[in-house]
Amino acid sequence: MHTSLQMMLSMGLELLLSVLLAATLVYCIVLERRLASVRKGQDGLKKMIGELNGAIAGAGASLRALKSAAADAAETLDDRLKRARALSDELSLITNSGERIAQRFDRAVPAAPASTLPSGSVMNRLKAVR
């Protein structure tokens, strides 16, 4: 009797171990599928990170080109502004000189009627415009 009890106990233990081994096998299969899914997602993530890295590098290059273009435009604008100021100063000098010449003409010919001299009517028109 002692041997049959040992045999039954041994058989029950082997059955329990077989059930646990089957459960472990099922769990390993489920775990393998999940790991495959994670690996697949990891590959997609690597690809996405590579694309993002390329986009960042392209944006950096575009930003450097934009800064360079802005610096060139600012330099061109400064040059044009300097030339415009110089031309404005020159035009101001010419205008002042013309006004002084016109005033000398006005003083030199005060008695002549404005209607008889064509330059007198031009001067009156200029004065009216101011």
pLDDT at 108 over 90: no
CA distance 42 to 50: 12
Residue found under tokens 């020159």: 90
Stretch 99-115: mean pLDDT = 73
What confidence tens digit (pLDDT) does each residue in 12-33 have? Answer: 999 999 999 999 999 999 999 9
List the Cα angle 76/63/54 in 5-degree steps: 150
> Does residue 120 have a pLDDT over 80?
no
Q: With 70 as the cut, is the pLDDT of residue 121 above it?
A: no
pLDDT, tens digit (0-9, with 9 covering 90-100), for 35-78: 998 888 888 888 899 999 999 999 999 999 999 999 999 999 99
pLDDT over 90 at 107, yes or no? no
- Token pair 């610096």 is at which residue? 71
| 3-state secondary structure (DSSP) of residue 91 | helix
Q: What are the DSSP calls for 6-50, one per residue?
A: HHHHHHHHHHHHHHHHHHHHHHHHHHHHHHHHHHHHHHHHHHHHH
| pLDDT at res. 115 | 52
Q: What is the mean pLDDT of the segment spanning 116-120?
A: 57
Q: Which residue type, as a one-letter code, is found at position 19?
A: V
Model pLDDT, residue 41: 84
Tokens of 17: 């171990």
* Integer Cα distance of 101 and 124 in angstroms: 15
Measured CA to CA, the distance from residue 18 to residue 29 in angstroms comes to 16
pTM of the model: 0.45
